[in-house]
């Protein structure tokens, strides 16, 4: 369920553009996500209805590729590594600090969709543990206070 009203007419130009290209599922989904920030259920239904691509194929692709989101995401993406090295060096405290500061839970977003918090597992830089990424920027050897400060500086 989407629960959000979206203007599905915005998808028409995308479907028009890829009308002649069979199998253009990925670019259609990419462009749709560019519009809404994620792939709302209503948009998926609309794509299926107008393109003839089955809904199961659309969801198959959308769930296979990590680039696609089926839920709305915050403006900023905070990722905290909870691989073994980061875990023993304090990742749970980072998670706690971000959850407390922004009124969200790991795997979710705050009520205003400013921030989304994701837990990831080993980014391959264990020497910098614990690590967080904020909008793709790496913060190594971070502490709860410094991470919260770095996030505050975003706006």
Residues that bind ligand FES (CB under 6 A): 81, 83-86, 122-123, 125-126, 129, 131
Backbone angles phi, psi at 80, to 5 degrees: -115, 130
Distance of closest approach, residue 67 Cβ to ligand FES, in angstroms: 21
Residue of this chain nearest to ligand FES (CB atom): 83
Q: Strand, helix or coil at 125?
A: coil
CA 85 to each of CA 1, 23, 81: distance values in angstroms, whole numbers, following the listed order: 38, 42, 9
Closest CB 144 distance from ligand FES, rounded Å: 16
CB-nearer residue toward ligand FES: 12 or 118: 118
Q: Give the nearer residue to ligand FES in terms of CB position, either 6 or 133.
A: 133
* Preceding omega of 129 cis (within 30 degrees of 0): no
Q: 10 or 120: whose CB is closer to ligand FES?
A: 120
Smallest gap, in angstroms, from Cβ of residue 82 to ligand FES?
Answer: 7
For residue 62, the minimal CB distance to ligand FES (Å) is 27
């Amino acid at each position: 369920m989407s629960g959000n009203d979206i203007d599905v007419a915005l998808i028409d130009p995308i479907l028009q553009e890829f009308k002649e290209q069979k199998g253009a599922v990925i670019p259609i989904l990419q462009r749709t996500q560019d519009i809404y920030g994620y792939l709302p259920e209503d948009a998926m239904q609309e794509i299926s209805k107008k393109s003839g691509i089955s809904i199961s194929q659309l969801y198959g692709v959308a769930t296979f590729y990590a680039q696609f989101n089926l839920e709305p995401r915050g403006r900023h993406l905070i990722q905290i590594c909870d691989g073994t090295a980061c875990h023993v060096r304090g990742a749970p405290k980072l998670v706690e600090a971000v959850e407390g500061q922004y009124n969200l839970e790991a795997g979710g977003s705050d009520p205003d969709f400013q921030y989304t918090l994701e837990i990831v597992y080993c980014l391959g830089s264990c020497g910098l543990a614990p690590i967080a990424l904020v909008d793709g920027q790496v913060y190594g050897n971070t502490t709860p206070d410094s991470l919260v400060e770095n996030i505050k500086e975003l706006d």
